[in-house]
Amino acid sequence: AKLLVLHGPNLNLLGMREPEVYGHATLDQIDADLRARTEAAGHAFDSLQSNAEHALVDRIQSARADGTALILINPAAFTHTSVAIRDALAAVAIPFYEVHLSNPHRREPFRHTSYFSDLAVGVVCGFGADSYRYALDAALSRLAAGTA
């Protein structure tokens, strides 16, 4: 099956961006780890980071045509603002996991609201770069069970 990982704005700065909040791993390191695990499980991997809401909407729309079975998404700041990305995920009806490095619930009140969590299969937050790995483990189990 095909797995797509999406990263929202400012995640290109991982490694140097507020390392006390987001850790020291770079996005390239995170993606390389996810790709290796996905391919080892016999699946195809693609990822995109964008600072632009429309680019993420466009990639989600094309995921239906390219046969993507599952999406992992860290919408970053768009978590708390983007009806457009939420609507794109609802439109393509591809199951997705919401991922955050930090735990938004222990941060500023404006981070306590997500436009994604009520549609997500699951939400993993607060484990740094490992949040992605735990979400991927869940996604791979779902694929293995044939329910995605």
Helical ranges in the chain per DSSP H: 19-22, 27-40, 53-65, 83-92, 130-144
- Contact flag: residue 77 with ligand DQA (CB under 6 A): yes
Residues in the interface with ligand DQA (CB under 6 A) total 10
Task: Give the shortest CB-29-to-ligand DQA separation in angstroms.
Answer: 15
- Give the closest residue to 86 by CA, choosing from 66, 64, 56, 65: 56
By 3-state DSSP, what share of the chain in percent is helix, strand and coil, each rounded to 5?
A: 45, 20, 35
Active site residue 97: no
Residue 101 annotated as binding site: yes
DSSP 117: T
For residue 47, say whether it is annotated as part of any ligand binding site.
no
Residues 15-54 within binding reach of ligand DQA (CB under 6 A): none
Stretch 57-76 residues interacting with ligand DQA (CB under 6 A): 74, 76
* Tokens standing for residue 90: 């609802």
For the annotated binding site for substrate, the residues are 74, 80, 87, 101-102, 111
Give the binding site for ligand DQA (CB under 6 A): 10, 74, 76-77, 79, 100-102, 104, 111
The residues annotated as belonging to the active site are 22, 100
